[in-house]
Chains A and B, each alone.
Chain A
């Protein structure tokens, strides 16, 4: 069935370090892919999305590219800030159901 697997955490980085959080998916069709961010005590907010192969989603310095050949959607940021500390979820949809990864906790230290 459809599923998402993402890198286990927690991840701790120093400010200005490079971030990669790996995400791969299994799908019967051609899903849309998302990264969500959750700040402490809050719900999930959309960070970026890509709706077809080779699309790149980007927002707030974060990027992810929809790679159909490797069924991946890895999240990257060139220089993280303390304010990026949060939990990040990779997700896919077939237009009705959504499938989420287990989340990766990121802590950025000054």
Chain B
């Protein structure tokens, strides 16, 4: 069974902390994505990556960075967490250039910044 695994289901962090959200996929996909989901706003793209060591800003990159040192792993970093980053974070992956294939999602990380 194909899988995208996020390291934590729930996280509580303090304002100003550096936070790492990890995502691993076992499907050898080139594309990986980080979204945040907020009520009424749907999914908003934070960053995506087409290949190892490559990254592109999405719609809302401010306050975030990413790292992709290995093909299977894509990390989202909150450099200095703030309360407005309390949200549900979703990681996804897909094979590059394949129109017929969906994005596969992890189970999500519910982050609360206090």
* Interfacial residues, chain A to chain B (CB-CB below 8 A): 31-32, 34, 36, 41-46, 49, 51, 89, 91, 93-98, 100-103
- Provide the residues of chain A in CB contact with B99, threshold 8 Å: 31-32, 51, 93-95
Closest to A102 in B: B42
Assess whether B42 is in contact with A89, with CB atoms less than 8 Å apart: yes
Known contacts A32-B99, A98-B92; A43 and B42 CB within 8 A of each other:
no
Assess whether A96 is in contact with B90, with CB atoms less than 8 Å apart: no
Assess whether A97 is in contact with B48, with CB atoms less than 8 Å apart: yes
Q: What mask results when residues 14 to 55 of chain B are scored 1 for a CB within 8 Å of chain A, else 0?
A: 000000000000000001010000001111000010100000
Assess whether A98 is in contact with B33, with CB atoms less than 8 Å apart: yes
Q: A43-B105, A103-B43 are in contact. List 13 more A-B contacts (CB 8 A).
A: A42-B108, A43-B4, A43-B6, A44-B90, A89-B42, A89-B43, A91-B103, A93-B102, A98-B92, A98-B94, A100-B43, A101-B42, A103-B42
Most buried by B among A96, A97, A103: A96
Assess whether B103 is in contact with A42, with CB atoms less than 8 Å apart: no
Residue B84 interfacial (CB < 8 Å) = no
Known contacts A44-B90, A102-B42, A103-B42; A95 and B98 CB within 8 A of each other:
yes
State in angstroms the CA–CA spacing of A45 and B107 once bound together: 9
- Provide the residues of chain A in CB contact with B40, threshold 8 Å: 102
Most buried by B among A42, A45, A94: A42
Closest 8 pairs between A and B when the two form their complex, measured CB to CB: A102-B42, A43-B105, A44-B105, A95-B99, A100-B43, A51-B100, A43-B107, A43-B108
Q: What mask results when residues 77 to 102 of chain B are scored 1 for a CB within 8 Å of chain A, else 0?
A: 00000000000001010101111101
State in angstroms the CA–CA spacing of A25 and B77 once bound together: 32
Chain B: minimal CB distance from A65 (Å): 17
- Provide the residues of chain A in CB contact with B48, threshold 8 Å: 97
Chain A: minimal CB distance from B91 (Å): 8
